[in-house]
Amino acid sequence: MTGGRADGNRKPALTWKKKLSLAVTVLVLCLGPIMIGVGSFMINADAELARTGVEATGTIVHFDDVTKASNRRIQVDFAAADGSARRTFAAVDHDQHPVVGDEATVVYAGNDPGRAIVLGYQSDGVWFRGAGVVLTVIFGAIGLLAAVLAGVGALRRFFRRRSPKRVG
């Protein structure tokens, strides 16, 4: 015997279209958890920078108070210890109302002043993590619904085969 089913019929291999569909499905299902991981990593990196970085006083030079949360950002200019002029950006929560010209505390990496955060404002990782949670819930619910429907269909086929044929 060479393997396969006892009746000699082999189950057909997946076509390239089905393989592509499966790959896209797995990618979509993994996207949310990946974004949660990336967002958490970014938040932790910013928290570590806040603990170990060099503080500088910066000036808020730009802020658009828009209604779309992902566009609420401030631009802060500051001077690094080496005297170089630097710029950083930070996400602004809806309950925060920064004013152009106000001072803000910036913390930057001593060996890389281009890597900086503004204390008191959100990390960009908050958006990634939040979007990842939303995607995980949406695609997880769709996947769960698809699995339940597939299971119900399989049970119906199983009981249909087992039920005695009606003679009419």
Per-residue pLDDT of 145-155, as tens digits, reads 988 998 898 88
Let me know if residue 1 belongs to a domain: no
Question: How far is Cα 4 from Cα 57, in angstroms, rounded to an integer?
Answer: 72
Let me know if residue 57 belongs to a domain: yes
pLDDT of residue 5: 52
Instruction: Domain count for the chain, please give it.
Output: 1
3-state helix, strand, coil split of the chain in percent (to 5) is 45, 25, 30
Domain that holds residue 140: 22-144
Let me know if residue 149 belongs to a domain: no
Phi-psi region for residue 167, left (φ > 0), alpha (ψ -120 to 50) or beta? beta
Let me know if residue 56 belongs to a domain: yes
pLDDT of residue 158: 86
Let me know if residue 96 belongs to a domain: yes
pLDDT of residue 8: 56
Let me know if residue 81 belongs to a domain: yes
Let me know if residue 52 belongs to a domain: yes
Regions of the chain where pLDDT drops below 50: 1
Question: How far is Cα 78 from Cα 97, in angstroms, rounded to an integer?
Answer: 20
Please give the model's pTM, rounded to 2 decimal places: 0.71
Angle, alpha carbons 127-132-133 (nearest 5°): 100
Let me know if residue 4 belongs to a domain: no
Q: 89: domain CATH number?
A: 2.40.50
